[in-house]
Amino acid sequence: MDGVELCLETFGDRVDPALLLISGMAASMDWWDVGFCERLAGEGRFVVRYDHRDTGRSVASPVGKPSYSSDDLATDPLRILDALGIRRAHVAGISMGGGIAQHLAARHRDRLFTITLIATSPAGARADQKGLPPIERRLAATFENPTPAPVWNDRAAVVDYLVDGERPFAGSLGFDEDRVRRLANIVVDRTRDIAASMTNHWVLEGGSAARFRLADIEVPTMVLHGTADPLFPFGHGEALAAEIPNASLVPLDGMGHEMPPPQLWDVVVPAIVAQTSGDSRRS
């Protein structure tokens, strides 16, 4: 893919409308639960998930020395679509992946049918100059006093580290440790270099791409946002829906800054299916 090794997985029938899932920072495709992908595929979507650079089985750089820029991460979805021969797709992105989706909608709108923004924040310029709600204090404290990194070749310690890292992002629905631990085990076993995976996205330099205005996004947009998100409180989702023309907002009661948990799939899956319906057969 443009000389870059990126790992992807697909679910469903290739003749169905393509739905590309974009993970958050330092997150491999594994956080998009297989069951979730299969639910979407069962509703007639050709679902694609992939590993960002330095996650999962995609290309890995030396720890602390990523060989790519944030601009490269932002355009990797186009490389994935090109590799699959897909001209246009629906895109759903979470957190950083939601920022990437906004960038694609503003700069490469001809490649997208729709975007779904999950647990993310405005990546483009807003007309409203009022500040957005700050990170919750309980979560800010974990950034100010981070847990020391584990010994990276101690598998059990790394799994514990990943699980503990997810815990403070949970909302009022609670933290499903068994599910997160299951996914963390998969992540550790699939990742080429877990130390690089947990480090390199955080040290990337800012992108060179010019800023865009949210008001200029013309791609049909849906915002899915947890009402208990401690990183990007609900006002961030409201701001996206207010600034992007004709965007819809679906509150997810009790969800934190996390992948939609299974107890919300009966809300999230139909919402995404409705958003991605229409004349969008693979092209």
- Under 8 Å between Cβ of 95 and 233: no
- Under 8 Å between Cβ of 255 and 231: no
95 is catalytic: yes
CA distance 60 to 101: 23
257 is catalytic: yes
SS3 sequence of the chain = CCCCCCCEEEECCCCCCEEEEECCCCCCHHHCCHHHHHHHHHCCCEEEEECCCCCCCCCCCCCCCCCCCHHHHHHHHHHHHHHHCCCCEEEEEECHHHHHHHHHHHHCHHHEEEEEEECCCCCCECCCCCCCCCCCHHHHHHHHCCCCCCCCCCHHHHHHHHHHHHHHHCCCCCCCHHHHHHHHHHHHHHCCCHHHHCCHHHHCCCCCCCCCEHHHCCCCEEEEEECCCCCCCHHHHHHHHHHCCCCEEEEECCCCCCCCCHHHHHHHHHHHHHHCCCCCCCC
Annotated active-site residue in 95, 121, 197, 280: 95
Annotated active-site residue in 52, 103, 225, 257: 257
Annotated active-site residue in 52, 229, 236, 280: 229
**Annotated catalytic sites, by residue?**
95, 229, 257
